Amino acid sequence: MESWLMDSRHIAIFANSLRLGGAERVALNLANGFANTGHNVDLVLVSEQGELLSEVDESVSVVDLGAERVLRSLAPLRGYLSTHRPDVVISIGAHVNLVSVWGRLTTMASPTLLLTEHSIMKRMPDERKASLMKVLARVFYPLSDCVVAVSQGVLDELRSEVGYRGNAEVVYNPIVSEQLLRDAEEPLEHPWFDSKTPVVLGAGRLAPEKDFPTLIRAFDRLTEKRDARLVITGAGPERDTLEQLVKSRGLEESVEFAGFVDNVYKYMSNADVFVLSSLNEGFGMVIAEALACGTPVVSTDCPSGPAEILADGKYGSLVPVGDADQLSTAIDNMLANPTPEVVTRERAAAFSVESVIENYERVIEEL
Element (H, E) at 257: strand 255-259
Note whether 136 and 233 are same-domain residues.
no
Do the Cβ atoms of 184 and 269 come closer than 8 Å?
yes
Work out the pLDDT band at 120, boundaries 50, 70, 90: low
Q: What is the pLDDT of residue 282?
A: 84
Q: In this structure, how many other beta carbons lie within 10 angstroms of the beta carbon of residue 123?
A: 17
The answer on 206 and 142 residing in a single domain is no
Dihedrals φ, ψ of 46, to 5°?
-55, -45
Residues 74 and 189 in one domain: no
225-271 pLDDT tens trace: 999 999 999 999 999 999 999 999 999 999 999 999 999 999 999 99
Tell whether 3 is covered by a domain: no
Residue 85 has pLDDT above 70, yes or no: yes
Task: Look at residue 5 and tell me if it is in a domain.
Answer: no
Q: Are residues 56 and 167 in the same domain?
A: yes
- pLDDT at site 3: 61
- Which region among 119-128, 134-143, 158-167 has the lowest average model confidence (pLDDT)? 119-128
β-strands 255-259, 317-319 pairing: unpaired
The predicted-structure confidence for 262-299, as pLDDT tens digits, reads as follows 999 999 999 999 999 999 998 999 999 999 999 999 99
106 pLDDT tier (thresholds 50, 70, 90): very high
Does residue 72 belong to any structural domain of this protein?
yes
Shared-domain flag, residues 264 and 359: no
pLDDT of residue 114: 98
Q: What is the CA radius of gyration of the chain?
A: 21
Regarding whether 157 and 185 lie in a shared domain, the answer is no
- Which residue would you say has higher pLDDT here, 99 or 303? 99
Same domain? 346 vs 357: no
The pLDDT of residue 216 is above 80: yes
Residue 139 counted as domain residue: yes
In the predicted model, what is the mean pLDDT of the chain?
Answer: 95
pLDDT greater than 90 at residue 127: no
Q: Where are the alpha helices (DSSP H) in the chain?
A: 22-36, 74-84, 94-105, 127-140, 152-157, 178-184, 212-222, 239-248, 264-270, 285-292, 306-309, 324-336, 341-348, 353-366
- Rounded to 10 deg, the angle between the 22-36 and 353-366 helix axes is 80
What does the pLDDT read at residue 21? 85
**For position 337, which CATH number holds?**
3.40.50.2000
| Same domain membership, residue 47 and residue 169 | yes
Q: Is residue 1 part of a domain?
A: no
Within a domain: 207 = yes
Q: Would you call 1 helix, strand, or coil by DSSP?
A: coil
User: In 3-state terms, what secondary structure has residue 103?
Assistant: helix
User: What is the edge-to-edge ordering of all strands in the sheet holding 255-259?
Assistant: 255-259, 229-233, 199-203, 273-276, 297-300, 317-319
The pTM of the full predicted model, rounded to 2 decimals, is: 0.91
Helix (H, G, I), strand (E, B) or coil at 352: strand
d(CA 225, CA 47): 50
The larger pLDDT score, comparing residue 264 to residue 194, is at 264
Asked if residue 84 and residue 45 are part of one domain, the reply reads yes
Q: Are residues 198 and 290 in the same domain?
A: yes
Is 70 within the bounds of a domain? Answer: yes
Predicted confidence (pLDDT) per residue in 39-48, tens digit: 999 999 999 9
Q: How confident is the model at residue 68 (pLDDT cuts 50, 70, 90)?
A: very high
> With contact defined as beta carbons under 8 Å apart, do 218 and 327 qualify?
yes
Q: Answer whether residue 2 is part of any domain.
A: no
Q: How far apart are CA 60 and CA 262, in angstroms?
A: 23
pLDDT number for residue 189: 94
Q: Write the pLDDT tens digit of every residue in 160-190.
A: 989 999 999 999 999 999 999 999 999 999 9
Q: Are 44 and 80 in contact (CB under 8 A)?
A: yes
Number of domains in the chain: 2
Residues 6+ apart with CB under 8 A from 62: 42, 43, 45, 48, 53, 56
| pLDDT single digits (tens) 293-351 | 999 999 999 988 999 999 999 999 999 999 999 999 999 999 999 999 999 999 999 99
- Domain membership of residue 361 as a residue range: 10-174+352-366
From CA 193, how far away is CA 174, in angstroms rounded? 28
pLDDT (average), residues 112-124: 80
| Rounded Cα–Cα distance for residues 285 and 305 (Å) | 8
Burial of 117 (0-12, 13-18, 19+ CB in 10 A): buried
Instruction: Kindly state whether residues 149 and 193 are assigned to the same domain.
Output: no
Q: How many CB atoms lie within 10 A of CB 152?
A: 14
Q: Residue 63: pLDDT band by 50, 70, 90 thresholds?
A: very high
With 0-12 / 13-18 / 19 or more C-beta atoms within 10 angstroms meaning exposed / middle / buried, residue 191 is exposed
295: closest CA among 255, 256, 335?
Answer: 335
Statement to judge: residues 148 and 119 lie in one domain:
yes
Least confident of 100-109, 117-126, 234-243, 298-307: 117-126
Question: Where would I find the H helices in 110-172?
Answer: 127-140, 152-157
